[in-house]
Structures are given as C-alpha cells and as structure tokens.
Chain A
Amino acid sequence: MSQPPIKQPGSNWRFELTRLPFLYRLLRWRPLQFTLTLITLSFFVLALLTSFLGTPVGNRNFSIIFVWIVWWALVIILLVPALGRSWCAICPIPAPGEWLQRRSFIHPRRRKLWTLGKRWPRRLKNIWLQNFSFLAMALFSAIILTRPVATGLVLLAFILLAVGLSLVYERRIFCRYVCPVGGFIGLYSMAAPIELRVKDIEVCRAHSTKECYVGSEHGFGCPWLVFPGNLQRNTYCGLCTECLKTCTMDNVAVNLRLPGLDFFVAKQRRLDEAYKAFIMLACALAYSAVLLGPWGVLKDAANFASLDGWLIYAAVFLAFNLLILPGLFYLTTLLSRKLGARGEISARAYFIDLSYSLIPLGLAAWIAFSLGFVLVSISYALPVIADPFGWGWNLFGLRDMPWTPIAPGLIPYMQVPVLLGGLTFSIYTLWRILGEHGRERLTRAALPPAFFLTLATFGFLWLYLG
C-alpha cells in the first residue's frame, strides 16, 4: 500500500476491493453510473411531477414520502455510514448538466466539455457556500419537509442550478461547492470504511499524462476537480470511478479500510469543514426538539404560524448553529489547550483540529434522529406507490394499506447504542487528534472537549428517552 504513513497500529490495513474481479469489471463498466443514475432520475422526475401536480397533503404525496423518508433513510442510515459518498455517484441532480457538458450519456466522444469553462472564484473554493445553503434550507425545513410544492421548488432549483453552473463552469461545480446535501455527505463520508485511492503515489508522480485528471478515450477527467494522486480523504471524491477507468497505469483502487481514518489527515483540516460539523450537530439537536419533541410552540414557530414567531425561531436557530455551539466548544478547547500545555499551537488551529472529533457523534445523532421518524413513517411509502399523486389511483392494490409504525416501542433501544457508539468513536477521534501534538498530559487535554461531547450525547438521550 502506498498510503501516506499514518503511523497508528492497524491504520495501514487495507483490503483492495477492486482486486475482486467481479467488482473491478463492474466498476469499469461504463454504463454502470448511467444506468443507476437513470433509475434515480426517474424517481426524481416522478417526485418533481407529483410535488407540483399531486395532492398538497404531504404524507399522501409521493414526493414528500420518497424524498424525505425513503431517500433520506437510504442516504443517512445506509449509504453514508457504509459507503461514504456513494450517493453522489448516482445522484440525478447533476446528471443532466453533466451529460450536456459531455454531449454524451456514456462514452467519451469529445475531449472538450461543452461549457464556458470559467474558473470558479477562489474565494468560493471551500464549503462555506454549502454551509449556508444547508442552513437556509434548514430554516425552512418544517415547510419543505411537509409541503409537496415546497419540496418541488427545492428540487427544481437544485437541478436548474446544477445545469446552469455546468454551462458556465467546468465539471461538477454544483456538487463540489454548492449542493447543501453534498456538504454533509462529504463531511460524514470521512467516517466510512471504504475509500478510493491510488495504489502507489510514486507511479502517479512519474506519470506525466495523468489521464485521471484530463480524461482519455476510456473516460472523463475527474468531474470533481480532484487529482486522485492527492486523495487522502473521501471528502471531495464523488466515487464516480472515472479515474478507475481512465488510469492507464491501473493505479486506482477502491479499498476497504478502518472507518474514520480521514479525520487524521491533519494538513487538510479547515475552518469551513469544522463549521460544517457544528452545523450538522446543532441541526440534529434542533430538529430532534422541534420535529420530534412535544412542544407546540416550537412547531408553530418553525411552521410559520406567525411571521414574528418564525423570525425569533430563525434568529435563535442561527445563533445556536453558528455561535452558541461552536462558542461553547471553543471554550472547551481553550481549557484543553491550557490543561494540556499545548500553547505552541494557535488557539484557532487547535479549535479546528479538535472540531473534527464531533463528526462521528454528529453522524450517529443524525442516524438516531432519522430512526425516530423513518420507522414510524415508512409505511406511507406503500400507499403513495399505489397513488403517487393522491388522485385516487390504486396500483397494485396498495392504496388502502393503513399507516403502521414499525416497532415504535423499540426505537429508543436502537437510538441508545447508535449514540453511545458514535460518542465512543468521537472520543477516540479526539484522543488521536490530541495525540498529534504529543502524548504529555493527554488525559487532561481530552477532558474538556470530551465533556462537551458527553453533554451533547446527554442532550440527545434526554430528548429521545428523558
């Protein structure tokens, strides 16, 4: 393995999945991505149609149920934890723009992309835009999650924006820098037990043509503007596997590995990503209280019962995401820096580094939150398959399937292990990141941030069980 030597016991363990002949052939089979995307795109189109033309009653409309329950569960409970960014490889939203750029569905025909090919502004080469696009959606989530038309407008805006950006800028700018979903999928994909990496970095260094980046007759240059030779984290690799197809040195692999190694790539840590971790944790807490909690006041405020109420809610929500939670964590890092005598590193860098320890707990919290409504509401999926628009159709005779929550009494018993597992993973991450600055006074340095993580976990336990 040519992985950069992260000298931790077990860290270098990799199993090269692409050594399996079947998988290797499948991933190099050009129509694969197109075929899967066609399936998701047909669901997307149906969701778009039902959102605008179907019944306004959310839980009887295909768009609401399939986007916010079926798709959401698929992504956050299955795909991201197990396969990282895999959703991005089959996502329908950037597909039309990408096909247009390539003027081809499957095979590369022309080298030049059909686009103005402008350069994305330097200042936007980070995920701040994604942080804010996510927050903007989160503020209206009670509306978007429950009104088909609102969901339709969001989906439409996404796809139009993706096409528009593909005409102006090279490759998948929408995915890389704009998509609110891509932001957190990228963040949490760092925890995944799979990765796409080059086998031997020296081979890449010696190889001047770099088809993986520029493309070849076997495939397109990396749509994500990533040079595979530099990949050390999953964050911005969309797993499209173009490089697996284009690399003439057969130097690209998909590996099984220990989860979460990407957290320890110290040089690539950044404030925008740290903030993403706070925003996600804060939103999981806020949603758990607003959507799943018993407080009518919160629901009314989030649901625009009155403009004033919503404005207050929005202000508190934003403050909690951007100031309160990061601020409290910042205090614990100051304390940790002091107790751990780690004065040689700046407070800012220290804060950014330690923020990455929030990622596993954040992912666990989203899974726990999603378990709280997915099992309860998934049975709506059958009637909306029978009658996607709510017009009274009855395909397959499924329309009158009653709403049947699945194992609602067991949900807390799933949430607790998920949360405690996430917390353990977070403390481990914290410990190793702290270890980068030396092993002296490690426990003392760990205590304040570990306290923060524990308190956050307690908050979720209280909301779900207390």
Chain B
Amino acid sequence: MTQRSLLLAVLSTLLALAALLIPLPAVRPRPQQRQIHLNARMFAFEPGSVKVNQGDTVTLVLHSQDVTHGIYLDGYDVNIKAEPGKPAQATFVADRQGKFRFRCSVTCGAMHPFMIGELVVGPNLPFWRAVVALLIVVAGSILTLRSAAPQATPHVSASDQATR
C-alpha cells in the first residue's frame, strides 16, 4: 500500500462513518394524529407497509381475521394482541426515524415467525444515510485500489495439478 492509498482508505472510512452518524437538524413535517387499521391473517398484515412521519402520534388498531394475532413493534414498546372480532389498539409517538418491523407476537401457525410488516417513520434518514455511505464506500474502494502500488500479477505455481 502506498501512503496515498492508505490516506484514501482512512478518509473514505471516516466519510462513510460520518454519513452514517453525524447528527442532522431534523426537518419534520407538522406532527399529525394518525389512526392505522391493520388486518392480520395467517401469515401477513394488510397493509404490510405503513408510512408515518416522525413526531406523529400513531394509533395502531389490530383486527384479527382468522385466529389470534399480535403485534410486536421493533424498537418501540408496543405489544398488543387481538382475537378475531375483538380489535386491540395501541398509541405511541413515532419519535425515531427509520424502518421498524412489526411482528406477530402470538404463535399462530407454521409461518408465524415470518409474519412481518413494516412501519416506516419518515423522513427515512437511516436508509438514505446508508445509501450515501454505500456510494462513499464504492468510490473510496476504487480510488484506494487505483492508487495502491502496482502489483505483480499473481501466479500460482504449477503444483496445482488435479488431485486424482
């Protein structure tokens, strides 16, 4: 490695980390009250994907259509259960950005562990940060490799004849 390529490697790693971590001023739309109805059946939620904005007060209303299902929302302290015909609800403030999976929390059949939906709290900055980091990593790797010292062509000795 040349000094230049080392520098480039360190620089792009730092830049990628910065893209992922540097705090940004939040640009939030005005918070709203939202009521979201989720229909649960074996083994999916309808709608499977829900979008809200950061700061919104969200009420999830869970309707089970066949057997008892539940909702456990990653990263938020939400865990409710609903029997068929008896909707359950939970209210919380969507204070963190990103994509959060919600999972059925009542064993409801074979595919239960994969009964998953997603709540996207926008603006989805974590995702866009990851994309920027991705681009930095790609550009950084290529620039680093370019500036690395010219290398001899790797050669494999003639000893690698087939085993048998």
List chain A positions with a Cβ less than 8 A from chain B: 4-9, 11, 56-60, 142-143, 146-147, 201, 225-227, 229-230, 232, 264-268, 291-296, 299-300, 303, 373, 376-377, 403, 405, 408-409, 411-412, 416, 420, 423-424, 427-428, 431-432, 435-436, 438-439, 442-443, 446-447, 450, 454, 457-458, 461-462, 464-466
Contact = CB atoms under 8 A, between A and B. Distances in A.
A4 B160 CA distance: 9
A436 B124 CA distance: 42
Contact of B114 (A7, A57, A299, A431): A299
9 contacts: A9-B1, A59-B112, A142-B114, A230-B160, A409-B100, A423-B137, A454-B135, A458-B131, A466-B99
Contacts of A447: 142
Q: List 6 A-B pairs, minimum CB-CB distance, nearest first.
A: A296-B44, A409-B75, A294-B48, A408-B74, A4-B157, A7-B152
B129 to A, nearest CB: 9
B159 interface: yes
Nearest to A433: B154
B30 interface: no
Contacts of A227: 163-164
B156 A265 contact: yes
A459 to B, nearest CB: 11
A147 B110 contact: yes
A28 to B, nearest CB: 23
B145 to A, nearest CB: 5
Nearest to A294: B48
Contacts of B154: 6-8, 11, 264, 266, 432, 435-436
Given A6-B154, A8-B151, A435-B154, A58 B160 contact: no
A243 to B, nearest CB: 13
Interface stretch (B53-61, B80-88, B101-109): B101-109
A336 to B, nearest CB: 13
Given A59-B107, A405-B72, A377 B113 contact: yes
Interface string B123-161: 010110011011101100110011001111111110111
A266 B112 CA distance: 45
B156 A405 contact: no
A232 B107 CA distance: 48
A217 to B, nearest CB: 23
B134 A296 contact: no
Contacts of B49: 294
A435 B148 CA distance: 12
Interface string B55-72: 000000000000000001
A7 B151 CA distance: 8
A316 to B, nearest CB: 19
B110 A146 contact: yes
A57 to B, nearest CB: 6
A12 B30 CA distance: 60
Given A294-B118, A416-B133, A266 B156 contact: yes
Contacts of A11: 154
Contact of A435 (B138, B142, B151): B151
Contacts of B164: 225, 227
Nearest to B17: A417
B40 to A, nearest CB: 10
Contacts of B20: 416
B126 A58 contact: no
B127 A466 contact: yes
